[in-house]
Amino acid sequence: MRSKFKDEHPFEKRKAEAERIRQKYADRIPVICEKVEKSDIATIDKKKYLVPADLTVGQFVYVIRKRIKLSPEKAIFIFVDEVLPPTAALMSSIYEEHKDEDGFLYITYVSSPRLSMLLWCIC
Structural domains for the chain: 4-122 (3.10.20.90)
| Reported confidence tier of residue 119, pLDDT bands at 50, 70, 90 | very low
Neighbours of 114 (CB within 10 A): 9
**Is pLDDT of 66 > 90?**
yes
pLDDT for the residue 113: 57
- Residues 2-27 have pLDDT tens digits of 799 999 999 999 999 999 999 999 99
What tens digit of pLDDT does each residue of 78-114 get? 999 989 999 999 999 999 999 999 999 999 999 875 5
For 26-36, how does the pLDDT look when each residue is reduced to its tens digit (9 = 90+)?
999 999 999 98
Q: What is the pLDDT of residue 116?
A: 43
Band (40; pLDDT cuts 50, 70, 90): confident
3-state SS class at 7: helix
The answer to whether residue 117 scores a pLDDT higher than 60 is no
DSSP for 48-92 reads EEEEETT-BHHHHHHHHHHHTT--TTS--EEEETTB---TTSBHH
d(Cα 77, Cα 39) in Å, to the nearest integer? 11
Buried b (16+ CB within 10 A) or exposed e, 37-75: eebebeeeeebebebeeebbbeebbeebbeebebeeeee
